[in-house]
Amino acid sequence: MKVNVSERIYWLGVNDRRKALFENLWPLPAGVSYNSYLIVDEKTALLDTVETGAGGGYVEWIERLLAEHGRQELDYLVVNHMEPDHSGEIGDIVRRWPQVRIVGNSKTFKIIEGYYGLSEHGVEVGDGDLLDLGHHKLQFVMTPWVHWPETMMTYDTTEHILFSGDAFGTFGTLDGAVFDDEIADFDAKYLGQMRRYYSNIVGKYSNMVQKALDRLRDVPVRTICPLHGPVWRSEPKRVIGLYDRWSRYEADAGVAIIYGSMYGNTAAMADRIARRCAEAGIRDITVRDASKTHLSYLIDDVWRCRGIVLGSCAYNAGLFPAVERLTAELLHMGVKEKVLGLFGSYSWNGGGVKNLRVFAEQIGWPLVAEPVELFGRPTPEKLLACNDLAHGMAEALAGAAKHE
Ligand code: FEO
């Protein structure tokens, strides 16, 4: 198969529909793609590889593309990112082309040695360095922590093509369509998966994403070639805008109500708050039972919505475990720019709302109303307090909308 990004630049990607969990953590209901790219010029260069085992016939594919140009040798392997979903075939490449020069930065080679025992073949590059392939001149842009410390991007100054690593990628396989303009409805097929990929995988490093975007601000980019998902050749500015928005924690004026409930009382409060939010004018409301929704989707809800309402019953004098896992992850990721409502219940002593208050202080999100806590079943007085929480959220979101 020959998929041209441009006349002498080829996409070499594979789809993984078998893996259930990305990084053995994050669900892949629609699979994932691993992309790599080949430039055939006076010198030949492969940019990243694919996950081991995902690319049956990967080396032979490269051989065929080279042969079509009467070539056999692979001169360079550029390693933009060392996570094994992209570096998995390095060993096979080096065995097939033992003279290949691996191009990476000062952090890349240490990780290559750790993972693959390779300590030779290296051409170390720094920020702004150039690699001349003939017609194509590649420039390297250091973008550490998008998503690992060694991550960098490669910019083809000749054709203005950016090989962006994990940045601008998405979950979801490429079902025939490799380029964004070949997909009838990108938003329906990929937007949610792209935001979940961002929030789950890269979101913790949002400040570094902002630094990378600053670095690229004056660079003309015609096409973006990420390591996952479609190649952006018709709307590269759109995906840059999405990453800018997500890495600034800019969110929709919606509310995600996420709760943990054992006997239904905290769940009843969640439904009450949701109904009152609708009556108060909020038009984007999501209610999730934390026990039945994978953490991956809860994190995505938090990224998408500015308003977050967390509910927890007490469990052994602490938070309900599924809610505790979410709050720990949000603290670990350092998520910002949210407004928060809290509620919960207890049967014989507290622990749910008390620990949600601790979370609120630690993460620094302002409360939209006094937290509501039930003993046992909902009472008319506590249900009225739920109304206040919903109204406080509606006011906070209306205020936020005015600022956007
Ligand atoms: Fe797609 Fe950070 O690897």
Q: What is the DSSP string of 331-353?
A: HHHT--S-EEEEEEEESSS--HH
The length of the chain, given as a count of residues: 404
pLDDT value of position 319: 98
Does the beta carbon of 81 sit less than 6 angstroms from any atom of ligand 1? Answer: yes
Average pLDDT over residues 4-18: 97
Q: What is the pLDDT of residue 184?
A: 96
pLDDT value for 404: 42
- The mean pLDDT value for 304-331 works out to 98
Judge whether 198 and 246 are in contact, CB under 8 Å: yes
| Cβ of 166 below 6 Å from ligand 1 | yes
Residue 55 pLDDT = 65
Could you tell me the distance, in angstroms and rounded to a whole number, from the CA of residue 86 to the centre of ligand 1?
A: 7
User: pTM for the whole thing?
Assistant: 0.95
User: Ligand 1: which residue has its CA nearest to atom 3?
Assistant: 83
- Mean pLDDT computed over 194-208: 97
Cα-to-centroid distance, 108 and ligand 1 (Å): 14
pLDDT digits (tens, 9 = 90+) for 188-199: 999 999 999 999
**Residue among 298, 283, 215, 217 at smallest CA distance from 253:** 283
CA distance 79 to 124: 11
Query: Under 8 Å CB-to-CB from 67, ≥6 apart: which residues?
Result: none
Residues 153-179: pLDDT tens digits? 999 999 999 999 999 999 999 999 999
Banded pLDDT at 400 (limits 50, 70, 90): low
Reported as a pLDDT band with limits 50, 70 and 90, residue 139 is very high
> In degrees rounded to 5, what are phi and psi of residue 73?
-90, 145
Q: Is 85 in the pocket of ligand 1 (CB under 6 A)?
A: yes
Cα distance between residue 74 and residue 217, in whole Å: 32
Q: Whose CA is nearest to atom 1 of ligand 1?
A: 166
| pLDDT given for residue 403 in this prediction | 47
- For the segment 286-297, the average pLDDT, to the nearest whole number, is 98
What spatial distance separates the first Cα and last Cα of the chain, rounded to whole Å? 46
